[in-house]
Amino acid sequence: MNFIDIAPHYIRAIKPYVPGKPVEEVERELGFTAIKLASNENPLGPSPKAVEAIRNYLLQVSRYPEDTGFYLRRRLAEHFKVTRDQVILGTGSSEILAMACHALLTPDCEVLTSEGSFVLYYLLAQAKGAKMVRVPMKDYRFDLAAMAERLSANTRIVFLANPNNPTGTTNTAAEVRLFVERAPATSLLVLDEAYFEYVDDPKYPNAFDYLTEGRPVLILRTFSKAYGLAGLRIGYGISRTDIIQLINKVRPPFNTSNVSQIAAMAAFEDHDHVRRSVRLTTEERQFLYTEFKNRSIPYVPSATNFILIDAGLPAADAFRRILRQGVIVRPMDGAGFPTMVRVTIGTRDENVKFLKALDSLR
């Protein structure tokens, strides 16, 4: 008996998530050094304070971690002026997305989001057999006015990536406010702010305003991007106490390691490292904009540490040709952008190497 045949039809239909190609694999294939600009990682690496905290803790890894991440949750609660019971940790914010779906979705529910957003949203809804309602984008942004028209009594979760991956675009406070006002009390609005630290826009919403009002929102952030801890897989969610209690019912025990908790605590306090990381991204983003304009390469202005560009040929072909130059980017045809690739903003040397690889397409 092939067990695939006895799985639910909506599970059989899933196409598993494909991560960015590992640099080690590419170097084995090419036989020379490559750079990875595919997964939006911090080119400066982790905070030195986080690395030191990890070294100091290594002799204690024989012990199970503190199950709920008490100390990290307490520090986050202090910083964001919420209670500790309003904070939950996950192996990256992706796990919290999955736990929310597991806790709330059944096959008669609907999940509302945009086309051209984080592919995991669609996979998680499909894994629960829920109906996925995907609204077309407008100018590479979530069309929240159109999405509000698709809200229904069956809408259980709304995914709003702000900034959005892979377009790098944001929605304003006014746009989000209008949407929040129309959302039913039985819909959880997941505000996925994985790239929050990179945003510098006075019109960007303060998600905690909705939480203060008692709205059913779940704010997600991560230590994988600006904090440089992608390999440790740790993120956090903040919501109403009742929503966190519900999600905790499906949280696996010891879901975040003691090392990741300790590193996140140290990284969270290293404000200088985050500022350096954001400053590098801001400067190099402008450098790439200028170079794209000089080459007449269309791109989507980004509020993040990555840029979506039009390669002018099928995305899979562009990916392979750039890869042969030793640069890993991310083809975005699977996200609905058939000729576009997403490139992480790296150091100046990495960005120059990417531009040379890009020139090989023309």
Residue 231 predicted with pLDDT over 80 = yes
Instruction: Take residue 206 and report the two structure tokens written for it.
Output: 């303060």
357/289 Cα distance (integer angstroms): 16
- Do 186 and 108 belong to one domain? yes
Of 204, 238, 270, which residue constitutes the final position of a domain? 270
Pairing of strands 110-114, 131-135: parallel
Averaged confidence pLDDT in the chain: 95
User: Is residue 207 very low, low, confident or very high in pLDDT (cuts 50, 70, 90)?
Assistant: very high
Q: The pTM is what?
A: 0.95
Residue 39's domain comprises 3-45+272-359
Residue 5 has a pLDDT of: 80
Domain CATH for 30: 3.90.1150.10
Domains contained in the chain, number: 2
SS3 content of the chain, % helix, strand, coil (to 5): 45, 15, 40
Which residues are CB-contacts of 286 (< 8 A; sequence separation ≥ 6)? none
pLDDT in tens, 169-190: 999 999 999 999 999 999 999 9
- Do 314 and 259 belong to one domain? no
Domain CATH for 112: 3.40.640.10
Which residues are CB-contacts of 303 (< 8 A; sequence separation ≥ 6)? 163, 168, 169, 170, 195, 198, 199, 200, 201, 204
pLDDT in tens, 54-73: 999 999 999 999 999 999 99
- Do 172 and 248 belong to one domain? yes
pLDDT in tens, 78-115: 999 999 999 999 999 999 999 999 999 999 999 999 99
Residue 32 predicted with pLDDT over 80 = no
Of 270, 297, 324, which residue constitutes the final position of a domain? 270
